[in-house]
Structure 1
Amino acid sequence: MGHCYSKKTTSVAVNDAVSSAVEDPTPASVQTTPFHSPFPAGINPSPARTPGRRMMKWPFPPPSPAKPIMAAFRRRRKESGGVTPERTAEQEGEGRMREREVERERERGLDKNFGYSKNFGAKYELGKEVGRGHFGHTCWAKGKKGDVKGVSVAVKIISKAKMTSAVAIEDVRREVKMLKALSGNAHMLKFYDAFEDANNVYLVMELCEGGELLDRILQRGGRYVEEDAKGIVVQILSAVAFCHLQGVVHRDLKPENFLFATKEDDARLKVIDFGLSDYVRPDHRLNDVVGSAYYVAPEVLHRSYNSEADMWSIGVITYILLCGSRPYYARTESGIFRSVLRTDPNFDDIPWPNISAEGIFFVKRLLNKDHRKRMTAAQALAHPWLRDENRPLPLDIFPIKQVRSYMRATPLKRAALKALSTALTDNELFYLKAQFRLLEPKDGCVSLENFKAALARNATDAMKDARVSDFLTIMEPFSSKKIDFEEFCAAAISVYQLEALEDWDKIATMAFQYFEQEGNRRISVEDFARELNLGPTAHTLVKDWIRSSDGNINFIGYTKFLHGVTIRGSNTRRQ
Structure 2
Amino acid sequence: MPMIPQVHRQPCDSRGCSTSAPRCQGQHSPFLHGQRLKLHRRKAQPFHHSKCHRVLAATSQKTDFHQTKLQQDYAATASDAHVLQRPIKEQLQAHEVKNVFGFPRDLRDRYSIGHVLGAGSFGVVREVTRRANKRKYACKTIPKIPRRGTGTPRYLLKLQTEVDAMQQLGSSLDAAHLRDCFEDDESIHLVMELCEGGALLDRIKQGAPTERYIASIIRSVLRFIAQCHGKGIIYRDVKPDNFLFLTKEPDSPIRATDFGLSIRHWPDAGKLKSRSGTPVYMAPEVIMQEYGQEADEWSVGVLMYQLLTGSLPFWDSVQKLTLQQVWQAILVKRVDLDSPTVQNMMSEGARDLLKGLLRRNPRHRMTASAALEHPWIKSEGAAPDTPLSGSVIQRLQRHATYGALKQLVLQIIADDVIDVEHGSMHMVETLRDLFQQLDTDGSGGICLPELMDGLKRLGYVVTAEEVEKLMRRLDVNDSGTVEFEEFCAGMIDWKTLQEDHLWTRWVDLAFGKLDSNNDGYIDLDELIARLPSLTGVDNPESERMLAARRMLREADTNGDGIVSREEFETLLEANTVPDSLDAYDPRWLPEGSVPA
Inter-partner Cα distance in structure 2 for 1:356 and 1:20: 24
SS of 1:164 mapped into structure 2: coil
Shift of 1:492: 11
Inter-partner Cα distance in structure 2 for 1:362 and 1:135: 34
Aligned counterpart in structure 2 of residue 288 of structure 1, from 271, 274, 293: 274
Q: Are positions 1:323 and 2:309 aligned together?
A: yes
- Which sections of structure 2, spanning at least 5 residues, go unmatched? 19-31, 68-88, 384-389, 399-491, 511-546, 559-564, 570-575, 579-596
Contact preservation (8 Å) 2:97, 2:144: no
Pair 1:20–1:377, CA change in 2 (3 A)? closer
Partner of 2:211: 226
RMSD between aligned residues: 4.5
Contact preservation (8 Å) 2:94, 2:186: no
Aligned counterpart in structure 1 of residue 240 of structure 2, from 227, 242, 255: 255
| 1:368-394 CA-partner distances (Å, limit 9, x unpaired) | 001111121111111122224757598
Partner of 2:449: none
Pair 1:79–1:346, CA change in 2 (3 A)? closer
Q: Are positions 1:206 and 2:193 aligned together?
A: yes
Partner of 1:308: 294
Contact preservation (8 Å) 1:439, 1:446: no
Aligned counterpart in structure 2 of residue 342 of structure 1, from 310, 332, 337: 332
Equivalent residues, number: 376
Inter-partner Cα distance in structure 2 for 1:248 and 1:157: 23
Pair 1:225–1:78, CA change in 2 (3 A)? closer
Inter-partner Cα distance in structure 2 for 1:375 and 1:294: 20
Pair 1:197–1:280, CA change in 2 (3 A)? same
Equivalent AA in structure 2 for residue 208 of structure 1: C
Partner of 1:364: 355
Aligned counterpart in structure 1 of residue 375 of structure 2, from 380, 384, 405: 384
Inter-partner Cα distance in structure 2 for 1:70 and 1:192: 45
Inter-partner Cα distance in structure 2 for 1:261 and 1:74: 42
Aligned counterpart in structure 2 of residue 142 of structure 1, from 129, 139, 156: 129
Partner of 1:480: none
Pair 1:442–1:128, CA change in 2 (3 A)? closer
| 1:53-79 CA-partner distances (Å, limit 9, x unpaired) | x67533333256375477467543699
Pair 1:124–1:20, CA change in 2 (3 A)? same
Partner of 1:298: 284
Q: Are positions 1:242 and 2:227 aligned together?
A: yes
Equivalent AA in structure 2 for residue 387 of structure 1: K
Partner of 1:176: 163
Inter-partner Cα distance in structure 1 for 2:552 and 2:197: 33
Q: Are positions 1:353 and 2:325 aligned together?
A: no
SS of 2:128 mapped into structure 1: strand
| 1:493-540 CA-partner distances (Å, limit 9, x unpaired) | 9xxxxxxxxxxxxxxxxxxxxxxxxxxxxxxxxxxxxxxxxxxxxxxx
| 1:518-570 CA-partner distances (Å, limit 9, x unpaired) | xxxxxxxxxxxxxxxxxxxxxxxxxxxxxxxxxxxxxxxxxxxxxxxxxxxxx
Inter-partner Cα distance in structure 2 for 1:337 and 1:372: 20
Partner of 1:271: 256
Q: Are positions 1:58 and 2:42 aligned together?
A: yes
Give the structure-1-normalised TM-score: 0.56
SS of 1:252 mapped into structure 2: coil
- Aligned pairs for 1:363-512 within 5 A: 363-388=354-379, 392=390, 440=495, 465=553
Q: Are positions 1:153 and 2:137 aligned together?
A: yes
Pair 1:70–1:107, CA change in 2 (3 A)? farther
**Higher RCO (CA 8 Å, separation ≥ 6 residues):** 2
Aligned counterpart in structure 1 of residue 108 of structure 2, from 98, 101, 121: 121
Contact preservation (8 Å) 1:141, 1:153: yes
Shift of 1:464: 7.7
Shift of 1:269: 1.1
Contact preservation (8 Å) 1:13, 1:290: no
Inter-partner Cα distance in structure 1 for 2:168 and 2:179: 11
Inter-partner Cα distance in structure 2 for 1:138 and 1:77: 26
Contact preservation (8 Å) 1:323, 1:352: no
Inter-partner Cα distance in structure 2 for 1:110 and 1:66: 43
Pair 1:48–1:353, CA change in 2 (3 A)? closer
Q: Are positions 1:332 and 2:285 aligned together?
A: no
Shift of 1:188: 1.5
Contact preservation (8 Å) 1:279, 1:465: no
- Aligned pairs for 1:68-79 within 5 A: 68=55, 71=58, 74-76=61-63
Equivalent AA in structure 2 for residue 181 of structure 1: Q
SS of 2:313 mapped into structure 1: coil
Partner of 2:118: 131
Equivalent AA in structure 1 for residue 331 of structure 2: L
Contact preservation (8 Å) 1:17, 1:292: yes
Equivalent AA in structure 2 for residue 341 of structure 1: L
Equivalent AA in structure 1 for residue 277 of structure 2: G
Give the structure-2-normalised TM-score: 0.54
SS of 1:230 mapped into structure 2: helix
Inter-partner Cα distance in structure 2 for 1:78 and 1:260: 31
Shift of 1:131: 2.1
